[in-house]
């Protein structure tokens, strides 16, 4: 599993600049999902082959000092609860402020690795001034300049040492289906409807995170782990931050799953937060099933038919529209088993391996019929196709001039793969390589 690293600190110390620098470090990154809630960002980075998720806990509200303080407390509390390591950023220009002191007081009581990072240190004089941050009582500090990246290497070398190792627990051979979505969309009801008085349940495994519970489940002769992200403890501190909490939960659950069942409330529609969760799953290359819950509560169905609603969702998720959408009611148990059956199909699609000979026999004639358009007078010849040995479907197309193949043609190749081999519900990656 990859660790989660939270960046905390008061506004304007350069957290976002640092965050952006880290997630843009490589090409295949999961881009930042901006505004997952107001202004938190989530992204993926890697250093020396260790991949981790990064949460930028936001530059906060503009308001009185006390508003700032409650926000900052909340931000730190959340980071402490959810992250594996914490980067506490301060600013050498302003020295130690009262708010820095408050954050430090919270962090001194934490049993997790905390990295004190002094930003904006871009000359010798500032490096000398940074010494005052010893007074925060957090021990050693790292000096960086996030604007040009100096000093970040040393910091990251130490950071990746403390992140959790990939731990393949005995249950990990089982496929993992994560039930995600915003609060109150009906995730709990859906899971309870499945498991409630159900005799199929085998054992309860303590969750991968404190409140994401794994339930071993067997249906249609197929055994899997159902990961419930609904168990969000309501702490008085995080009432208003339930959204952020649920997003943090979703991040973890999505990363450690094979298929994501995204539950949405039909009366609220496919809103921003649900879209963020969808794109998070898509960028992590997970199988996806969209479950529209509470369809029974939608008013005037004549003007708002199922078909229209489905069209509207597909419009929102373009270009990745090859995703199953199942209308359910967790309350009346309507189509909940259909939902699981669909997830099982998507899981099988995601783990599908296609023989090289079959790929070439089927696709090369299609490509010959519809070759890539000539670019700058150059003709591209695709000669050979193979599936890469990855957990999810990725294909390499070998050709003479890969650099001349544009995105629309890549999409054409992806669509042919989908049409011929059925990757319903699964993101497919197409790479062009030089023969």
pLDDT in tens, 318-330: 888 899 999 998 8
| E strands present in 231-284 | 259-265
In the chain, ranges of CATH 3.30.300.20 domains: 356-434
Could you read off the pLDDT of 115-124 as tens digits, one per residue? 999 999 988 8
pTM of the model as a whole = 0.65
Q: Higher confidence at residue 376 or residue 240?
A: 376
List, in order, residues 6 or more apart from 399 with CB less than 8 Å away: 372, 380, 381, 382, 383, 405, 432, 433, 434, 435
CATH code matching the domain that covers 4-162, chosen among 3.40.50.300, 3.40.109.10, 3.40.309.10, 3.20.20.70: 3.40.50.300
Q: List b or e across 10-38, with b for residues whose CB sees 16 or more CB atoms inside 10 angstroms.
A: beebbbbbbbebbbeeeeebbebbeebbe
Q: Which CATH architecture has domain 356-434?
A: 2-Layer Sandwich (3.30)
Average pLDDT, the chain: 79
In the chain, ranges of CATH 3.40.50.300 domains: 4-162, 176-351
pLDDT-derived band at 209 (thresholds 50, 70, 90) equals: very low
User: Can you say which residues are annotated as belonging to the binding site for GTP?
Assistant: 9-16, 56-60, 119-122, 181-188, 228-232, 293-296
User: Can you say which residues are annotated as belonging to the binding site?
Assistant: 9-16, 56-60, 119-122, 181-188, 228-232, 293-296
CATH number of 176-351: 3.40.50.300
Q: How far is CA 252 from CA 54, 112, 223, 245, 366, in A?
A: 11, 18, 22, 11, 40
């Amino acid at each position: 599993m990859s660790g989660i690293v939270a960046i905390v600190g008061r506004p304007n110390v350069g957290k976002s600049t640092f965050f952006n620098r880290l997630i843009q470090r490589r090409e295949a990154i999961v881009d930042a999902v901006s505004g997952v809630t107001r202004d938190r960002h989530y992204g993926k980075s890697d250093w020396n082959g260790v991949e981790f998720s990064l949460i930028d806990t936001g530059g906060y509200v503009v308001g009185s000092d006390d508003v700032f303080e409650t926000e900052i407390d909340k931000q730190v509390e959340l980071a402490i609860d959810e992250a594996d390591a914490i980067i506490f950023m301060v600013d050498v220009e302003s020295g130690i402020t009262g708010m820095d002191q408050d954050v430090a007081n919270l962090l001194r009581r934490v049993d997790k690795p905390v990295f004190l990072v002094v930003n904006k240190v871009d000359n010798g004089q500032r490096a000398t001034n940074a010494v005052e941050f010893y007074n925060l009582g957090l021990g050693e500090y790292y000096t960086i300049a996030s604007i040009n990246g100096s000093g970040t290497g040393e910091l990251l070398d130490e950071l990746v040492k403390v992140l959790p190792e990939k731990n393949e627990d005995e249950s990990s051979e089982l496929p993992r289906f994560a039930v995600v979505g915003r609060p109150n969309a009906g995730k709990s009801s859906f899971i309870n409807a499945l498991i409630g008085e159900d005799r199929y349940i085998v054992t309860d495994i303590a969750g991968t995170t404190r409140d994401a519970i794994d339930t071993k489940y067997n249906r249609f002769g197929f055994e899997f782990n159902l990961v419930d992200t609904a168990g969000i403890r309501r702490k008085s501190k995080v009432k208003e931050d339930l959204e952020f909490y649920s997003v943090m939960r979703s991040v973890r659950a999505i990363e450690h799953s094979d298929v994501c069942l995204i539950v949405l409330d039909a009366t609220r529609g496919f809103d921003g937060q649900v879209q963020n969760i969808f794109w998070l799953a898509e960028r992590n290359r997970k199988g996806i099933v969209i479950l529209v819950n509470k369809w029974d509560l939608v008013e005037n169905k004549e003007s708002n038919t199922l078909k229209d609603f489905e069209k509207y969702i597909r419009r929102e998720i373009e270009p990745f529209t090859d995703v199953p959408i199942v209308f359910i009611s967790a309350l009346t148990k309507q189509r909940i088993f259909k939902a699981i059956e669909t997830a099982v199909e998507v899981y099988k699609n995601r783990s599908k391996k296609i023989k090289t000979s079959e790929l070439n026999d089927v696709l090369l004639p299609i490509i010959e019929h519809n070759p890539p358009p000539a670019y700058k007078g150059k003709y591209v010849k695709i000669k050979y196709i193979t599936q890469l040995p990855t957990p999810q479907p990725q294909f390499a197309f070998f050709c003479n001039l890969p650099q001349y193949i544009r995105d629309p043609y890549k999409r054409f190749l992806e669509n042919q793969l989908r049409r011929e081999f059925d990757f319903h519900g699964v993101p497919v990656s197409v790479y062009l390589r030089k023969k």
